[in-house]
């Protein structure tokens, strides 16, 4: 299931076939997470990632594909991990430039579906805000599996959640998130099947929200959103039908 959206304003200086990270690395995109509600959403995401990586010690090498938005590169670098961000265009480095300048993060320009790294080059590979916008998403997964010697962690929105009503909320979503792009909802089995074809098994997951993110943006109340999601999590609604999903896959 896909939804139509506004294309990025920046024209890539490269000829790579998949450049969705250019938009997600922009200041305009970061504006979707401005304010207390946006920061709360990022806090939930960060908490989920660190929970899934609790057995990975600081100092481990982490490749963050399309991570120029800095949503995870920044907290991971500050936590002592050796982070490399791969972006499909030099402009993708803008929001993490301070990390690059102080040497706590590396940045590489490359093709997200033909990674310029050797097999098993990193301890962990991440990709957030990418799979849902990537047309060749099975190839992206294949490349993630190829270059890691440890786990792969990524996020994806699922139709097996309240997001099933997303088409009916699309008008409201465009009003609240004027820079919405083309995106895809997944069934869990679709994602897991591709990983299994590449020799990886799903080992743990963290479902972020039970209610649609656009609803939280419309409410504009961190306290109310946090309370509502807390109730949903306590009732195990989030575990059963939460989205987006943060999932960890390990080599079989």
Q: For residue range 94-131, list pLDDT tens digits in order.
A: 999 999 999 999 999 999 999 999 999 999 999 999 99
Instruction: Check if the beta carbon of residue 45 is closer than 8 Å to that of residue 129.
Output: no
Q: What is the CB neighbour count within 10 angstroms for residue 74?
A: 20
- Residue 192, classified by CB atoms within 10 Å of its CB into exposed (0-12), middle (13-18) or buried (19+), is middle
pLDDT of residue 219: 94
The low-confidence residues of the chain, meaning pLDDT below 50, are 1-9
Provide the pLDDT for residue 14. Answer: 64
Structure confidence at residue 8 (pLDDT): 37
What span, in angstroms and rounded, lies between the C-alpha atoms of 99 and 78?
Answer: 9
Percent of the chain with pLDDT over 70: 87
Q: Considering just the CA atoms, what is the radius of gyration of the chain in Å?
A: 17
The whole-number pLDDT of residue 13 equals 59
How far is it, in rounded angstroms, from Cα 213 to Cα 215?
5
C-alpha closest to that of 95 among 2, 45, 23: 23
C-alpha dihedral (157, 51, 49, 228), degrees to nearest 10: 50
Query: Residue 183's pLDDT is what?
Result: 80
In this structure, CATH architecture of domain 16-251: 3-Layer(aba) Sandwich (3.40)
pTM (2 d.p.): 0.89
pLDDT on residue 174: 53
State the burial class of residue 196 (Cβ atoms within 10 Å of its Cβ: 0-12, 13-18, 19+): middle
pLDDT for 3: 33
Residue 136's contacts (CB-CB under 8 Å, 6 or more residues apart) are 17, 18, 113
Look over the chain and give the mean of its residue pLDDT values, rounded to a whole number: 90
pLDDT, residue 11, reads 52
So what's the pLDDT on residue 236?
A: 96
* Burial per residue of 203-215, b for 16 or more beta-carbon CB atoms within 10 angstroms, e otherwise: eebbbbbbbbbbb
């Amino acid at each position: 299931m896909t939804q139509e959206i506004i294309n990025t304003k920046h024209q890539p200086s490269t000829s790579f076939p998949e450049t969705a990270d250019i938009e997600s690395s922009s200041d305009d995109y970061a504006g979707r997470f401005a304010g207390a509600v946006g920061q709360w959403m990022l806090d939930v995401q960060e908490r989920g990632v660190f929970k899934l990586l609790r057995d990975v010690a600081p100092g481990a090498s982490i490749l963050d594909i399309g991570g120029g938005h800095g949503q995870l590169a920044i907290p991971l670098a500050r936590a002592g991990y050796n982070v490399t961000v791969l972006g499909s265009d030099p402009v993708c480095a803008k929001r993490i430039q301070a990390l690059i300048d102080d040497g706590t993060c590396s940045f590489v320009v490359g093709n997200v579906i033909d990674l310029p790294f050797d097999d098993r080059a990193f301890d962990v590979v991440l990709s957030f805000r990418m799979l849902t916008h990537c047309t060749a998403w099975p190839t992206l997964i294949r490349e993630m599996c190829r270059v890691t010697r440890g786990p792969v962690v990524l996020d994806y929105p699922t139709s097996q959640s309240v997001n099933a009503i997303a088409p009916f909320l699309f008008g409201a979503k465009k009003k609240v998130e004027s820079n919405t792009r083309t995106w895809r909802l997944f069934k869990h089995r679709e994602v897991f099947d591709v990983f299994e074809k590449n020799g990886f098994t799903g080992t743990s997951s963290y479902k972020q929200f039970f209610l649609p993110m656009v609803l939280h943006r419309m409410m504009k109340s961190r306290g109310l959103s946090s309370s509502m999601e807390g109730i949903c999590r306590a009732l195990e609604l989030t575990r059963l039908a939460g989205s987006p999903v943060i999932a960890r896959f390990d080599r079989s």
